[in-house]
Amino acid sequence: MNKPIRALAAALLMSGGLLSSAYANVIVGGTRVIFPAKDGEVTVRLTNQNATPALVEAWIDSGDAKSTPDKVNTPFLITPPLFRMEPNRDQSLRILFTHSEQPLPTDRESVFYLNVLEVPPKPSGPQFQGKNYIQLALRSRLKLFYRPAGLAGDPQKAPSALSFKASSDAGAAALVVHNPTPYYVTIGSITVDVGGTSHSVDTGMVAPLSDLRLAIKDMTQAPSAGSQIKYDCINDYGADVILKGSVSP
């Protein structure tokens, strides 16, 4: 990546790289990447839906949303890391596991993030001559789950294994979500019914064999045991799985 592009990318990453009125033309196939350790590599498909070419750079970070390609250190190699995509064409990214300075856990998943940065070509034509314009680089960022071989249970059933306990601290009610499985579970939405009123709950990703505290909006007292919970989680294919549960005693 040359210096002007890197500077533009860094500026956008510092601001989150997201603009409500801007849309990426280079589309990543899928909303997440599952990397089975036994395979050693995976392929991700990109499609340039624009009528113009684009410069694309891809890298993987370990959780820093402000990461840049020259500063990441993860056990993965992407090929090609930087390339030109012609209009209305596809491109495959190969992601290979190389090595890790610190061995990754073998009893649970690890999470990383795939970044795909799209830089459009410089506008040309008489309509742009002598005029100022803003050129935007857009980044897509997807979760990449490294899945060791031989993990117990079925990852598709992990969302239904979640359990919920009520908590209240300093006048703020919350649900403590326990994930007993070795898989990450992403909660897309969740509500708890108290006295016939449905209360929204914060969402998040529950790490394997861990707990996650989620605040209940507009509630100061913890819901009682047996209160009904509705939630949906995102599976390996990016689809919503709608589930029901209840607050444990």
Handedness of CA 167, 218, 234, 114 (dihedral sign): negative
At 26 the pLDDT is 92
Burial classification of residue 70, based on how many CB atoms lie within 10 Å of its CB (0-12 exposed, 13-18 middle, 19 or more buried):
exposed
Which residues of the chain form CATH 2.60.40.10? 3-147, 155-248
At 170 the pLDDT is 80
Contact 135, 120 (CB under 8 A): yes
Contact 229, 190 (CB under 8 A): yes
At 9 the pLDDT is 45
At 23 the pLDDT is 60
Q: In a structure prediction context, what are the per-residue pLDDT tens digits for the chain, which is 249 residues long?
A: 333 344 344 444 444 444 334 567 899 999 999 999 999 999 999 999 988 899 999 999 999 999 899 999 999 999 999 999 999 999 999 999 998 778 999 999 999 999 999 987 776 666 656 666 666 788 999 999 999 999 999 999 999 999 999 999 888 999 999 999 999 999 999 999 999 999 999 999 999 999 999 999 989 899 999 999 999 999 999 999 999 999 999
- pTM, entire model: 0.85
Contact 153, 23 (CB under 8 A): no
At 189 the pLDDT is 97
Q: Which class would CATH give 3-147?
A: mainly beta
CA distance 114 to 54: 18
CA distance 148 to 226: 36
At 171 the pLDDT is 81
Q: Are strands 32-36 and 138-147 parallel, antiparallel or unpaired?
A: parallel
Right CATH number for 155-248 from 2.60.40.10, 3.60.90.10, 3.55.40.20, 3.50.50.60?
A: 2.60.40.10
**173 Cβ neighbours under 8 A, 6+ residues apart:** 166, 167, 215, 216, 219, 220, 221, 222, 223
